[in-house]
Structure 1
């Protein structure tokens, strides 16, 4: 399935487009329900552990990426706007274990659409700082997102046949 990753340094954005052979409601749930998110929202061998998930405008997700050794790297996502089954925006920042964000963060704009049983997710990530975006890319964000979205694809296949 399609995976595009494009960077526009002048706009300080990274755009990801990924197709899934799954229904839009299932893909939407995978991005908005913690019990599904935690099964795929980390490149292996890392795990995702959600402490708080309140998917509503003004709500938040507070979660950790957990290394195989048990080290935790926390992140805080705050939901800015939601149009059910089609679109949501969130701010995203690393944080300490007490939910204090490390700024600057990034703004994520996610759009979902379905055509003939294929759901496309388009994610535009805007970074306040060009330096932060360049570090993100340098540390393997493209490869990590590709691996993470491949895990989602495998999970969706399992959930589609459940």
Structure 2
């Protein structure tokens, strides 16, 4: 079975505005992450080799840490990054909820605009995974639909504000 997850969303905003939401620390921290989560941006280096390091804060729970390691950025066209859970110092860490969740997920988001409507297509796949981690990722696809869907809902709300 294919271990690649895909989601596509359209936003009734011009590409330039949508791109800024992804490429500026003061914006990405306002919408990134699952619903019900407040993101605290700790490090934001929007360049190949740079990091977006953040704490995900849920009411009544300890912070969960995450990071992007940006691999490729083509302005207003695409962003590729390795996403992982992390520790407070931006090191890779196991997911707090599973010992077989892949340590890193390769994400590629592509951006296009037509008539003032921006389309984002995001692909995610495990990176450097073991067989059990690959199967875990495949089984996680319905949850990812909700997670990424909720994140994109928050992006839509942020863009409308």
The interval holding the TM-score normalised by the smaller chain is: 0.7 to 0.9
In the alignment, structure 1 residue 60 sits paired with structure 2 residue 73:
no
Aligned residues: 148
Deviations 1:6-40 (A, max 9, x none): xxx42x11011010000101111111211111111
1:17 and 2:17 matched: no
- In 2: Cα distance, 1:55 partner to 1:101 partner: 18
Structure with the higher fraction of residues in strand conformation: 1
Aligned equivalents of 2:140, 2:59: Cα separation in 1:
21
Matched, 1:133 2:132: no
Instruction: Note the alpha carbon deviations across 1:77-131, whole angstroms, 9 max, x for none.
Output: 1111111111111111111112220362110111100000110001111113313
Task: Tell me the TM-score normalised to structure 1 length.
Answer: 0.84
2:98 is aligned to none
* RMSD between superposed Cα atoms in Å: 1.6
Relative to the length of structure 2, the TM-score reads 0.85
CA offsets 1:47-104 (integer angstroms, 9 cap, x no match): 1111000001111111121111252111121111111111111111111112220362
Greater shift in the superposed pair: 127-136 or 20-29 = 127-136
Q: What secondary structure sits across from 1:120 in the alignment?
A: strand
